[in-house]
Chain A
Amino acid sequence: MTSGNWLRGSLVALGYVVFVAFILFPIFWIFLMSIKDFRDIIAYPPTFVFTPTLRNYTQVLFGADTPGAATMVSDYTRFFRNSVIISGGAVALAALVGVPAAYALSRARFKARHSIAFTFLSFRFAPELAVILPLFVIYRQLGLYDTYQGMILAHQLIALPLVIWIMLSFFNDLPLEIEEAARVDGASVLQTLLFVALPIVRPGLASALIIAFIFSWNNLIFGLVLAGGQTQPATMAILQAMNFDQIKWGEMAAAAMVSAVPGMLIAVYFQRYLTRGLTMGAIK
């Protein structure tokens, strides 16, 4: 019995080590790369001991490599700002539109609501290009190509189904009695949603918005197709750093680290509703 426990214990420990190494090593390696200078990056065998530098980060965040260039906005800064505007705007719009819609889908009794809800869900399963390629043609005609408005609208394809389905799952869990009491007291449907239902599902709302933000922030293909020079998001910046023959490895690694920050912060601080959010409410 004790030898069995010992064996089991060491197997579990070995599993932990392999698991943690598999997950963390790539992140650790790209982080090392982001604080190396070029010579250390291309060195073989790979160097683990070196003099760290913050040059890649200052270059990415402030573009301050050449003297006097500090006042110029670096390309990366512009890309990050674009990402913040697009993903922030997309999530705000998705919340404004999606939360009342989810509430209506959850509370109103009409026949079509299941098929409408599933139509939203089915976008999660469709290849994105099937929508954004025609959208690309339409946008060029309407002048929405390479605009923030156009990007924010297109990102509803990601954000809106997430917000609607996650909120639907939280609203469906609410006991009806409290809301009915409010309605009997004379509150309108919208007032009931805003002052009764929404405060109770606040953690659900937070998880929906954060997951929608991460998915929108992480997306590559929308920026690739619908954004030109004006609105390119951070994921495009990283791709462009790879385009040139002489790859700027260090800057690329630093940009990758910075663009991974929102997601990593959430991973650490915000776990409780992650599974429910990622499965769009399928798992409570």
Chain B
Amino acid sequence: MPPQAIQPTLVKPQLAGRRRTWWRDERLHYVLMFTPALLLLIGILYPFSLGVYKSLTNEKLYLSSIQFVGLRNYVDLFSEAAFRESLLRTLGYVAAVLLVQLPLGIGIALLLDVKSPLRSFLRSTLVLPLLIPPIVAGLMWKTMMQPASGVLNWFIRSLGGQGIDWLSHPSSALMSVVLIDTWVFIPFVVLILLAGLQSVPEEVVEAVRVDGANELQAFLHVKLPWLLPYALLVMLFRIPDALKAFDIIYPATRGGPLDSTRLLHVMAYQEAFRWSNIGTAMAVLFVLWFISYVVSMNVMRLWRRRSGMIQGD
């Protein structure tokens, strides 16, 4: 809007005569308000780009001579079986997390969408795991999963079953971590999907009901398609979080037994602090960062397209 044209009629008389000086320019104010955040952003981006450089060196924690080695770290990593296994394991972990948490999340969201007097109690219960430190969750489950004396195996045995090795055997450790991850993050998944279910327009459900659809059909043909952008939003957050899983795995298994839960983020930590190979660790981290970036940018693009289509904005 042209300020000169409007202001004389709206502005208080004593202000109208005041000259607009440069320090009252609102653009300057906005820049000033943004500057501290920009400085912090640079403070974050600087170590990040320093890390990119470090991934191209042979830096060790307690070694003063650092040499530029080009892409050597990356080439070495991909020719190393342990790294390739860890990479595949990480991708498998992400897939397992999504395959378990999306259907389970939809189920629980449907359950909590049912009108009942217990609903507000159930919602309060739901969010508890999400707000507990993941390390505490890892510890709680590790305790319950003790093969010989844990309460889970006691429960299974008293039902007549065979105890499970849970975290202490390579064959079951990773799935046990997926279970813990599910306990911690299922509230987040459900909260998003529940918001989706509650935004389903009543008229549409009513309309297909009138046309003779039963509850299952109404779910499959109306609610499920409606939930797609919400499921994409779940993936947008859960995929990067699962790719960089650390806070649960570290207390629960430290990457063991026999590296069976050694995902890339854990591997990077161990390379840095067990073997003090900063260069290698940074190379692992940038492979991880690259995957996370490419996947989340694409999911975000999909999500924006789908949510724009359905919500019409």
Contact = CB atoms under 8 A, between A and B. Distances in A.
Interface string A70-99: 000000000000000000000000001110
Main SS class of interface, B:
helix
A20 B122 contact: yes
B136 to A, nearest CB: 4
B30 interface: yes
Contact of B140 (A97, A100, A256): A256
A260 B136 contact: yes
Contacts of B237: 124, 279
B244 interface: yes
A35 interface: no
B131 interface: yes
B131 A134 contact: no
A20 B124 CA distance: 11
A99 B30 CA distance: 12
B268 interface: yes
Given A101-B33, A105-B34, A130 B135 contact: no
A188 B11 contact: no
B296 A125 contact: yes
B231 interface: no
B33 A256 contact: no
B44 A157 contact: yes
Interface range, A side:
35 or more
Interface string A272-284: 0011001100110
Interface range, B side:
35 or more
Given A120-B41, A134-B54, A242-B139, A218 B126 contact: no
A54 B27 CA distance: 59
Interface stretch (B67-75, B80-88, B284-292): B284-292
A22 B182 CA distance: 11
Interface stretch (A39-47, A60-68, A201-209): A39-47
Nearest to B128: A267
Nearest to B194: A275
Contacts of B160: none
B188 A129 contact: no
A271 B124 contact: yes
Interface of A: 12, 15-16, 19-20, 22-24, 26-27, 29-30, 33, 42, 44-46, 96-98, 100-101, 103-105, 107-108, 110, 116, 119-120, 122-135, 137-138, 153, 156-157, 160, 164, 183-186, 188-190, 193, 214, 217-221, 224-225, 234-235, 238-239, 242, 249, 252-253, 256, 259-260, 262-264, 266-268, 271, 274-275, 278-279, 282-283
24 contacts: A12-B114, A12-B116, A15-B107, A23-B126, A24-B125, A26-B183, A29-B140, A45-B154, A98-B37, A100-B33, A119-B41, A125-B296, A127-B265, A130-B48, A133-B51, A133-B278, A156-B40, A184-B10, A189-B30, A190-B29, A220-B134, A264-B132, A275-B194, A283-B192
Interface of B: 7, 10-12, 15, 24, 26-27, 29-31, 33-34, 36-38, 40-41, 43-45, 47-48, 50-51, 54, 107-108, 111, 114, 116, 118, 122-137, 139-141, 143-144, 148-149, 151, 154, 158, 183, 187-188, 191-192, 194-195, 230, 233, 236-237, 240, 243-244, 246-247, 250-251, 264-265, 268-269, 272-273, 278, 281-282, 285-286, 288-289, 292-293, 296
